[in-house]
Chains A and B, each alone.
Chain A
């Protein structure tokens, strides 16, 4: 099961989907595009703990986190 984690006022909202299910995959890709279009940044984590930004939907990513646009505090 792959997971998309979206940070929000509730802490986070998790969307689980089966990467082998084409319909679920398409929905996850749509969600990715909507969120990044709204200014969210997507990042994935490697097994080593290294974090990398994701510019386009990666169907193989196990866990993707989305955080809202950064602003100066």
Chain B
């Protein structure tokens, strides 16, 4: 009886270890897949940015575009929502605009779609976008700016 129980426990232990190993492998594959698609998205975005925008992205994690209809400047920050800011004359965010392409897209793709939309059909993009308020800069930041 004792021998039988020992053998059974050992088999169960092996099976559990096997399942855990399989889960870990699946998890790392999934993580690699997510990282890979995010990298591809950023690669595509960089290809489509102007040299100046590419430099801004490298340095600040955002880039600026000029709206084709109003001539206003917008800042597109790295992200997938609430990442587009209309800038005032001093280059400070004054209003947020949220619009994204449908579907589960990676940040690079979302940012590229936002750039193309603002540079080619600004009014169309803003017509569907939702506005959000930008928190005011703290006094020390205003003084520094």
Chain A residues with a Cβ under 8 A of chain B? 5, 7-12, 39, 41, 43, 45, 49, 51-53, 65, 67-73
- Partner pick for A73 among B81, B116, B119, CB 8 A cutoff: B81
Write the chain A residue with the least CB distance to B40. A11
Q: CA separation between A45 and B119, bound complex, in Å?
A: 12
Indicate if the CB atoms of A11 and B41 lie closer than 8 Å.
yes
Residues in B with CB closer than 8 Å to A49 are 49-51
- Partner pick for B44 among A51, A65, A72, A73, CB 8 A cutoff: A65
Interface residues of B in 87-145 (CB under 8 A from A): 98-106, 108-109, 112-113, 115-117, 119-121, 125, 128-130
Chain B residues with a Cβ under 8 A of chain A? 36-41, 44, 48-51, 81-82, 98-106, 108-109, 112-113, 115-117, 119-121, 125, 128-130
Q: CA separation between A51 and B121, bound complex, in Å?
A: 11
- Chosen A-B contacts, 26 in total, with CB atoms closer than 8 Å, are A7-B101, A7-B109, A8-B103, A8-B105, A9-B103, A9-B105, A11-B37, A11-B38, A11-B39, A11-B108, A11-B109, A12-B40, A12-B109, A51-B115, A51-B116, A65-B112, A65-B116, A67-B101, A67-B116, A68-B103, A68-B105, A69-B101, A69-B102, A70-B100, A70-B113, A71-B128
Q: CA separation between A31 and B90, bound complex, in Å?
A: 44
Interface contacts (Cβ under 8 Å), in number, total: 91
Q: CA separation between A51 and B104, bound complex, in Å?
A: 24
Instruction: For the A-B complex with A5-B44, A9-B37 known, give 13 more contacts whose Cβ atoms are closer than 8 Å.
Output: A7-B103, A8-B103, A9-B104, A12-B44, A43-B116, A53-B116, A70-B125, A70-B129, A71-B101, A72-B98, A72-B128, A72-B129, A73-B130
- Partner pick for A68 among B41, B102, B120, CB 8 A cutoff: B102
Indicate if the CB atoms of B100 and A73 lie closer than 8 Å.
yes
Residues in B with CB closer than 8 Å to A67 are 101, 105, 109, 112-113, 116
